[in-house]
Chain A
Amino acid sequence: MLKKEFQEKFTGFPNYLKSWVKTFTGGLTLFVLLSLLILPFLSQNQNFTHVFLRQFTLAMIFAIFAASWDLLTGISGQISFGHAIFFGIAGYICAYLISYQHYPIWVALIIGALGAVLFGLIIGIPCLRLKGPYLALGTLAFSLVLLKLFLMGSLADIFFGSEGISALPKISDDPVVEYLSLLILMIITFITIIQISKSKFGTILKSIRDDETGADASGINTTRFKVYAFMLSALFAGIAGSCYALFATSVNPTGNFGAVISFYAILMASLGGLTTIRGSALGAFFFVFLEYSLIIAGAELYVNLIFALILILVVRFSEHGILKPILERIKDVWDVLLGR
């Protein structure tokens, strides 16, 4: 029966694709993807490829990270304020395997992500007893303690201390290859997460979000599904974390485990709207470029403060993120243009 469903989906795909493109979100997504695809080839200028383009690469890493957070919080309803854990652990494992064990880059990247999944399991289980704000705080506590362990005291020396590991290779020395690799990873991540969200499994996750008691009463083992959500989310956060380690060519406690990283995930996903996965990508791009602009403008010191204020404003005044209302305005214009 599963095979029949799959066959139907496969043969129906071209038609599905056609009708999808005609919708506003479909058309817009396709336009954005094509633009992203063409972008690296627009200029040969060194400044363009090595600096400007790399901002996009960074944005895509964060898009994956934000989407992973959205999967856990927006779709499954488990509020995570410690997402830095998965990001950082993957980065450290990846860095360690490459620097000290001489693993090839992609293998290290994947093992890093798997390490994050393991942590998703480790953290998911005690946190299952916590709900809502408690879960948020519990995950935050976890990430802060982990940060301390890596940063201070004699234990930190086992984990490479406050200096971390540096001199890591990049995914590729050619920024265009690096960019395209991330683009592919980002597309795969988003398609996967969106499909998960639309699947029957995703419906269960959403039911736990909307009414966990009701899900229990529906015969669902909510504990198990919550752990799955943690592990899946950790997987993608881990992929982002490994990529980031390779992007920055180093890992250190504050840069990879800091509470700021968790904050960034929350900010990016909130900007784009908590329940839309694609919104996370928009949020990530907006975030990276805003930061970039602020740094260029010389306001580097104020970056995080400004972001904090933005988060407060976004959450306070718009639960759908600011980007959704803007998109809806654009959609109205689109409809008018197409005579609908």
Chain B
Amino acid sequence: MIEDIINMIFNGTLNGAVLSLIALGYSLVYGVGGIMNLAHGAYFMLAGYLLLWGLPIFPDFLILSVIFAIVIVTIIGGLTYILLIKPLQDSHVGVVLVTFGLAFAIEQFVLIFYGTDSIAISDYVLFSGTTEVLGYSMANQFIFFIIMSIVIVSLFALFISKSKLGKSIRAVSQDREAAVLMGINANRVLLYTVMISAFLAALGASLYLPGAALSGPSMAWTYLTSSFAVIILGGMGSLVGSVVGGYAVGFITSFTSIFIPNGPSWAHVVPLIVIIIVLVIRPQGLFGKKEIK
């Protein structure tokens, strides 16, 4: 019993650590530019597969593969904005359609090379082995990841509140026209925002996936769906909400997995149930604004 509880706490935290990183970037782009980038889950997935591809190439300098994956995905994020999002910024339907197409394209591209099977990135684990707590074994790589996730989120919070770019980002998200009047290049800010969100996703993937496994390119959609549930719960456009929501959804999922009969199957449905319940009871989520637009 106590094992199960530790299991739940650990996996809940782990899920939360992943989800909060992914949802943070996703929510950032929405909050700043009103953009729903449906390719966001694909960024995460792509980083994982780039890592898988790059590792055998630089066997002695694993960090190179990581940098490679993160850089490529960040650039793709930037290109997404320049080539696809910005030209369509007047059409909500257009942005959604084109990023959906991009997500598909990335998924299919990876599918051609790697198929749908689960693959583990076993060569790159910074911390191998496990730690035991009260009878439950926790992978050290995951412990490392959880710590790193918290560090990254904290650094990001500092960045957003103290740095010049961070302040510009906040200005644009509050009132784009006013920011432009103050001399801020909103276009550039949006570009950086999308790139930062891609960067966060790729960073999260590089730290988390080596301990887990790549469960097929369709994992892009799984993470997108979960991120969506997270930002609905946390409140659309709220960065704090993404983090809190991420851990909340993470815990609900691990709880369901362990304590509910047929748990792992029901765990798949958790994001959807969260979405429905939040929409019915409190559409603005925990920290969001009243109108959903």
Contacts and interface: CB of A to CB of B under 8 A. Distances in A.
Contacts of A142: 272
A153 B92 CA distance: 37
B292 A81 contact: no
Interface string B210-229: 00000000100110110011
Contacts of A132: 92-93, 96, 293
A111 B33 CA distance: 44
B59 interface: no
A215 to B, nearest CB: 16
B104 A308 contact: yes
A140 B228 CA distance: 10
Interface stretch (A89-97, A123-131, A327-335): A123-131
A7 to B, nearest CB: 40
B265 A79 contact: no
B125 interface: no
Contacts of B262: 153-155
B292 A130 contact: yes
Contact of A131 (B84, B225, B293): B293
B42 to A, nearest CB: 11
B156 to A, nearest CB: 23
A154 B265 CA distance: 7
A138 B283 CA distance: 13
Contacts of A25: none
A301 B87 CA distance: 30
B275 A141 contact: yes
A129 B292 CA distance: 8
B112 A149 contact: no
B146 interface: no
Contacts of B229: 141
Contact of A315 (B97, B224, B236, B269): B97
Contacts of B221: 140, 144, 259
Contacts of A302: 108, 112
A156 interface: yes
Given A142-B272, A305-B112, A316 B265 contact: no
Size class of the A contact interface (CB-based, 8 Å):
35 or more
A137 B221 CA distance: 10
A307 B100 CA distance: 12
A192 interface: no
B269 A148 contact: yes
Interface string B84-122: 100110011111111011101100110110000000000
A142 B95 CA distance: 21
Contacts of B266: 155
B283 to A, nearest CB: 5
Nearest to A304: B108
A308 B97 CA distance: 10
Contacts of B232: 134
Nearest to A303: B108
B108 A305 contact: yes
A176 interface: no
B283 A129 contact: yes
A316 B92 contact: no
A319 B98 CA distance: 11
A319 B268 contact: no
Nearest to B112: A301
Contacts of B269: 145, 148-149
B250 interface: no
B150 interface: no
A325 interface: no
B91 A137 contact: no
A315 B265 CA distance: 36
B166 interface: no
B104 A156 contact: no
A250 to B, nearest CB: 19
A133 B87 CA distance: 17
A263 interface: yes
B54 interface: no
A149 B275 contact: no
A283 to B, nearest CB: 14
Nearest to B102: A312
A145 B108 contact: no
Interface in B13-52: 36, 38
B188 to A, nearest CB: 21
B271 interface: yes
A281 interface: no
A296 interface: no
Contacts of A301: 112
B225 A126 contact: no
Interface string B259-292: 0001011101101100110011001000000001
Interface of B: 36, 38, 83-84, 87-88, 91-98, 100-102, 104-105, 108-109, 111-112, 218, 221-222, 224-225, 228-229, 232, 236, 262, 264-266, 268-269, 271-272, 275-276, 279-280, 283, 292-293
21 contacts: A79-B93, A129-B283, A138-B228, A140-B225, A144-B221, A145-B271, A148-B268, A149-B268, A152-B268, A153-B262, A153-B265, A154-B265, A156-B265, A263-B104, A274-B93, A304-B108, A305-B108, A308-B108, A311-B104, A315-B98, A316-B94
Q: Which 5 A-B pairs have the closest CB atoms?
A: A153-B265, A133-B36, A308-B105, A311-B101, A305-B108
Interface of A: 73, 79, 81, 126, 129-134, 136-138, 140-142, 144-145, 148-149, 152-156, 259-260, 263, 266, 270, 274, 301-302, 304-305, 307-309, 311-312, 315-316, 319
